[in-house]
Structure 1
């Protein structure tokens, strides 16, 4: 075991950082049919979906280190600076609320360290932990369902976007650029600041959608650059809306940018994965009636056949996806026609915890 939590790691080591709340929420809302423990009636949809995603990530990524982040119920600095931040969201269903603690139990059984910090969101902890991992040259994969984390992608950090039980994509820098019209991870938060984010109730600039945001940032390099050259902005309506909403633009930038220096420390020795007591995990899964998952639990990570070449080749895979922006009636009709003629389809909505 490595005794220095900030030593330099070679490219055979891999840290998985898990966005706990995002994955649990996504799993809970994805499973429409009731899924309960027969003896107690406890709802376990979110736990079941999370555990499946976790086991799959272990099998496919074969990490040497694992850690998980959670949101806390207390307001964050974003809520304090913007009263409307996430204010439109309905209360967490009671049957979902208890499942966060269940997932904490699962992670504790696997001896995975849990990070949560009052005043900050799980995304901020992911941003801080991944930044600290970068300083050690440790390859990192963020397991999430939240596209906000694409701003964290770097030469050593990738995002494993878990959009469903059967479909996921690994995002490196090139994949982020493909998604955002040639703009890299450093532009993701500014794109969202300009266009707004309805899932977080971030207003953005009226009349500016993702296409206009990408064009403006491509032309002027940053939101500050846009305002420095406001006279050059076209069309006139965009110039007018930007001029009238400078305060919103400034505030939205703060709301959308993930913190990289929260007051937490990445303890890599504690995050080393594979020394858990399998019996404890099995006992918990039996309590939850996850009988089909028990055979998939490894005795340790080597049971997945840890192979750095396989691991790194998987990380270099590009997402096999085609993005279609629907922002007007014509493109909506075209999408409807395509869906009607295809044998099947799926869709993903941008939501977070």
Structure 2
């Protein structure tokens, strides 16, 4: 991603160990996920060490997930851009971040496998789901998300959830309309019963799926400029991890632009 997009600014976001505010709302959040392999946890400090060697700022916050940090940074970059041309590219393996896409924010994510990576914008989200990025939340509120153990509405699947959000625009409007008798709103009685019975779960699911965008962070875009780094330190880190092939590809410094040339 770095090689492809040649960013002027860069930041890395991590989950903070332990429970999050979502667990307080719903104690079964992510409860069905298998335990993360110990070997993977052991790699995280090494990843952070590499990032620090390249002067890449690291962000994490107790009680929140990396997606919430990403959402906050993306929003801040949109509201306080360095220039009108400032664009945010979120690099993630998690399609939950699609809800953050906007006119100047895109998501670079895995599509299938580890080599099939795709750049999503508003048009591509519409093409894939038939919904806008903002409606992904409403879709998940109805369908749920088994990977995070977000319940959704029992008996409402992907197709029905998509059709309902397309028709009503949002979860809030859907429930507003079906609670008032109206012969023009043609929803099968069984589906209407499921929706009314699952109302509380639907709105809880939307809260759980929503990425926070207003966290208090010590973030400033200019502080994330990808600039000079300690090449000796970076080389030593790569040697210790036996990433010898990367050492000769270490980026050089563009003195005029104060930005790293990417390998």
Whether TM exceeds 0.5 here: the answer is yes
Q: Give 5+ residue unaligned stretches, structure 2.
A: 254-258
Structure 1 residue 229 displacement after superposition: 1.4
The answer to whether the 8 A contact 1:233-1:239 is kept is no
TM-score where L is the length of structure 2: 0.90
- Does residue 123 (structure 1) correspond to residue 67 (structure 2)? The answer is yes
Match of 1:41 in 2: none
Question: Superposed, which structure 2 residues align to 1:191-230 within 5 Å?
Answer: 191-230=139-178
Question: Superposed, which structure 2 residues align to 1:5-154 within 5 Å?
Answer: 57-137=1-81, 138-154=86-102
With over 3 angstroms needed to count, the CA separation of the structure-2 counterparts of 1:278 and 1:262, relative to structure 1, is same
The answer to whether the 8 A contact 1:226-1:233 is kept is no
- Does residue 262 (structure 1) correspond to residue 218 (structure 2)? The answer is no
- Count of aligned positions: 248
Q: Which runs of 4+ in 1 moved over 3 A?
A: 162-165
- Does residue 304 (structure 1) correspond to residue 262 (structure 2)? The answer is yes
The SS at the match of 1:158 is: strand
Structure 1 residue 120 displacement after superposition: 1.1
Q: Give 5+ residue unaligned stretches, structure 1.
A: 1-56, 306-353
With over 3 angstroms needed to count, the CA separation of the structure-2 counterparts of 1:172 and 1:260, relative to structure 1, is same
The SS at the match of 2:108 is: strand
Per mean C-alpha deviation after superposition, the further-off stretch among 250-259 and 227-236 is: 227-236
The answer to whether the 8 A contact 2:152-2:202 is kept is yes
User: Pick from 244, 248, 251: which aligns with 1:295?
Assistant: 248
Structure 1 residue 281 displacement after superposition: 1.3
The answer to whether the 8 A contact 2:153-2:201 is kept is yes
Q: What do you get for the CA RMSD once the two structures are aligned?
A: 1.5
Structure 1 residue 293 displacement after superposition: 2.2
Structure 1 residue 72 displacement after superposition: 1.1
Per mean C-alpha deviation after superposition, the further-off stretch among 60-69 and 155-164 is: 155-164
Match of 1:173 in 2: 122
The answer to whether the 8 A contact 1:142-1:157 is kept is yes
Separation in 1, partners of 2:76, 2:262: 27
Match of 2:256 in 1: none
Structure 1 residue 208 displacement after superposition: 1.3
The answer to whether the 8 A contact 1:128-1:260 is kept is yes
